[in-house]
Structure 1
Amino acid sequence: MMNKIFLIMVAIGFPLSVIGSLLHFPSVVMFGVYCLTIIAIASIMGRATESLTIVAGPRIGGLLNATFGNAVELIISIFALKAGLIGVVLASLTGSVIGNLLLVGGLSFFIGGMKYKRQLFNVFDARHNSGLLMFAVIVAFVIPEVFSQGMNPEKTINLSVGISIIMIVLYLAALFFKLVTHRGVYQAQESEEKIEEVPEWSKVKATIILALSTLAVAYTSERLVHTFEAVGEKFGWSELFIGVIIVAIVGNAAEHASAILMAFKNKMDVAVEIAVGSTLQIAMFVAPILVIASLFFPASMPLIFTLPEIVAMVTAVLLSIVIANDGESNWFEGATLLAAYFIMAIGFYLL
């Protein structure tokens, strides 16, 4: 039923997005159209990646879901950089980190926990990801903030580029570690019998749908960026709130839908891989790529976040590590993560 609704939303929303941009419909109206269209397309991307997950396994499936989901945010951010909205881009990166860890992770634990009293996932992956999360956010994001205090803008950019290159190399090394050299070394104990599943779409069909969906999202995202200023003025939203909450939720809609669906089906390895894997990809790959890409635009983007953004990300990482490091979850742990997210959302709204 929901799949049909999302298909109808895409069939109506995408043509309306094209027509509205050509005929210059009011920005506030088009903002809503663009957001709903992106979310609907993201649901289709989620179905495609679920089919690929069944074929390729939880790690590769989760990585694919995170990659295609983050492609949406990367596209939005590049257009925002082109428009000179550096604050929105940095805020959206913050929103992605806290959104994936607290909102997506929290909803996955909560909804899955309402159906199952206790859900298990690979504790070895959880501990491995904990170290990477600590590095990605606490080391790579806090260090630039501290060292940039005594630097001029040019040196700050050089510092950001250097850190970005190191982060990209380490992220690629982490993928090589998990998918090649240590693939299958750290296996979690199976808590129940495996159920043979048949993918909804074939590998080729799912891949084609993902590619077409990404192109559709790229166009809609580019139009969405141009509505930010008008919407902010209309509702009194700050650039920080738009980036941290609105852009992050819309840009990561694919992961949101897929992770929650996986948790509801008790596939917690996939759900956790999506939430945490997407966070790592944002922090260690997407953010550095945006820093390097910004060198080709009039205004370069340093990897320097505001104090509220850094505190929010560090808090989200530490809370997630404490809750997920034991390799099991329940609805109350999900509620705790969600409570932390809503507290931060209120704070960013009132700033």
Structure 2
Amino acid sequence: MTNKIFMILTFIGVPVSVIGSLMHWPSILMFIIYCLTIVSLSSFMGRATESLAIVAGPRIGGLLNATFGNAVELIISMFALKAGMVGVVLASITGSVLGNLLLVAGLSFFVGGLKFKRQEFNVYDARHNSGLLMFAVLIAFVIPEVFSMRMEKHETLTLSVGVSIILIALYLAMLFFKLVTHRGVYQHERETEGHDEEEPEWSKGKAIGVLALATVAVAYISENLVHTFETVAHSFGWTELFIGVIIVAIVGNAAEHASAVLMAFKNKMDVAVEIAIGSTLQVAMFVAPVLVLVSLLFNNSMSLIFSWAELVAMASSVLLMVVISNDGESNWFEGLTLIAAYVIMGIGFYLL
């Protein structure tokens, strides 16, 4: 039923989005249409990556889900940078970290925990990812903010570029570590149980084709979505910070949200956790640095400098997730705790 709804939304939303943008329909109406269409397109991306995940295995499957889930946000952010909305882009990075660690993981733990009293995932991956999360947020994000207090604007940008290059290099090294040198070293036997018995929804070729078409459609709609932000913000009294942290992050990560919760409901917690935490690492260590480097091509360059509210929120999310996930087990109450933290921070950013 859900797939049928998303299919109808997609086949209606894409042409309506094109017609509405050409005929200059009201911005608020188009904002709603664009968001719904992107979410429906994200569902197709999620189904395609799930099919590929069955063929590739849990680690690569989780990486694929995280990558194509973040592709939507990366596209939206690039158009936002082009439009000079640096604050929205930085806020969307914050929103992705909070959304993945608190909302996506929280919903996964909660929904899965309602069906299974106790769910397990790879404790070695959890501990390994904990260290990377601490590095990416508490060092790579906080240090530039601290040093920027005594720097000129151009020096801050130089520092941000240097940090970005290091983050990208370390992210590539992490992929090499997980997928090449230490692939399967810390893998549990249960990760592969029943793997060969499950049939993917779509063939490999069809899944790749759907991903390609959906990505092109998302790119077109995202560019138009960005142009509605200013009007929508003025109409509803929203700040750039709230739009980035909540709206862009949720719309941009819709595919991951749905995929992770579905995997948890099927008791595939290794994939669900890899989507939530792996996506956060990808945002912090790849998406954010890439946006810093891409911004050099535009009039308004983006430094990797967040507000203290954003930094404290991200650091708190990382610490809470590390404490909850380091035992390699989850239940519905831990999920509810993560969701509660997300709601509290959401209220704070709305009122800020």
TM-score (norm 2): 0.99
Whole-Å separation in 1 of the counterparts to 2:191 and 2:97: 30
Distance in 2 of aligned mates of 1:112 and 1:221: 32
Report 1:212-291 matches (<5 A).
212-291=213-292
Structure 1 residues 191, 157: closer, same or farther in 2, change over 3 A? closer
Contact kept? 2:58, 2:191, Cα under 8 Å: no
In the alignment, which residue of structure 1 is the partner of 2:314? 313
Residue type at the aligned position of 1:316? S
Per the TM alignment, residue 192 of structure 1 is displaced from its structure 2 partner at its CA by: 9.9
Aligned partner letter, 2:38: I
The equivalent of 1:121 in structure 2 is 121
Match status 1:341 vs 2:320: no
Q: Deviations over 1:27-81 (max 9, x none)?
A: 0000000000000000111110110010000110110111111111000000000
Residue 34, structure 1, aligned to residue 42, structure 2: no
C-alpha distance in 1, partners of 2:274/2:130?
A: 12
Q: Shift of the alpha carbon at 1:281? A: 0.3
Whether the 8 Å contact between 2:81 and 2:89 is mirrored in structure 1 is yes
Distance 1:316 1:250 in 2: 20
Counterpart amino acid of 1:217? V
| Residue of structure 2 equivalent to 1:63 | 63
Amino acid at match of 1:292: L
1:134-213 aligned at under 5 Å gives the runs 134-190=134-190, 194=194, 196-213=197-214
CA distance in structure 2 between the partners assigned to 1:171 and 1:71 by the alignment: 16
Matched residue type, 1:142: V
Q: Which whole-Å CA distance do the structure 1 matches of 2:193 and 2:259 have between them?
A: 22
Q: 1: CA distance between counterparts of 2:190 and 2:88?
A: 43
Mapped to 1, the partners of 2:287 and 2:192 lie a distance apart of 36
- Is the 2:50–2:61 contact (alpha carbons within 8 Å) kept by the matching residues of 1? yes
CA offsets 1:316-338 (integer angstroms, 9 cap, x no match)? 00000000010010000000000
In the TM superposition, what whole-angstrom CA distance separates every residue of 1:200-220 from its partner, at most 9, and x where no partner exists? 101111011111111111111
- Give 1:332's aligned residue: 333
User: Using the alignment, how far apart are the partners of 2:192 and 2:168 within structure 1?
Assistant: 37
| Matched letter for residue 63 of structure 1 | L
Q: Distance in 2 between matches of 1:8 and 1:191?
A: 35
Distance between the aligned counterparts of 1:234 and 1:6, measured in 2?
28
Aligned amino acid, residue 338 of structure 1:
I
Which residue identity does 1:158 align to in structure 2?
Answer: T
Separation in 1, partners of 2:289, 2:193: 41
| Paired AA for residue 306 in structure 2 | F
Give secondary structure in 2 for the equivalent of 1:150: coil
CA distance in 1 between counterparts of 2:94 and 2:316 reads 12
Q: Note if contact 2:31-2:228 (Cα within 8 Å) is conserved in structure 1.
A: yes
1:113 alignment partner AA: G
- Aligned 8 A contact 1:123 1:188 in 2: no
* Paired AA for residue 237 in structure 1: W
Residue 140 of structure 1 aligns with an amino acid whose one-letter code is A
Does residue 1:98 correspond to 2:98, yes or no? Answer: yes
Cα shift at 1:188: 2.3
Q: Is the 8 A contact 2:161 2:292 kept in 1?
A: yes
Given residue 31 of structure 1, which amino acid in structure 2 is its aligned partner? F
1:206 match: secondary structure: helix
| 1:190 aligned counterpart, secondary structure | helix
Shift of 1:190: 2.3
Query: Contact 2:191/2:270 (CA < 8 Å) preserved in 1?
Result: no
1:48 maps onto 2:51 in alignment: no
For residue 279 of structure 2, what is the amino acid of its counterpart?
S
CA offsets per residue over residues 265-286 of structure 1, 9 Å max, x none? 0000000000000000000000
Determine if contact 1:90/1:305 at 8 Å carries over to the other structure: yes
Letter in 1 for 2:223: E
Distance 1:304 1:189 in 2: 43
In structure 2, the gaps of 5 or more residues are none
Aligned counterparts of 1:299 and 1:307: Cα–Cα separation in 2: 21
The answer to whether the aligner puts 1:88 opposite 2:102 as a matched pair is no
- Deviation for aligned residue 1:189: 4.7
Which letter maps to 1:220? I
Moved over 4 A (4+): none
Contact 1:255 1:274 in 2 (8 A): yes
Distance 1:83 1:191 in 2: 44
Q: Which runs of 5+ in 1 are unaligned?
A: none
Preserved CA contact (<8 Å) 1:106 1:337: yes
Q: 1:295-314 maps to which residues of 2 (within 5 A)?
A: 295-314=296-315
RMSD: 1.0
Q: What is the SS of the residue equivalent to 1:178? A: helix
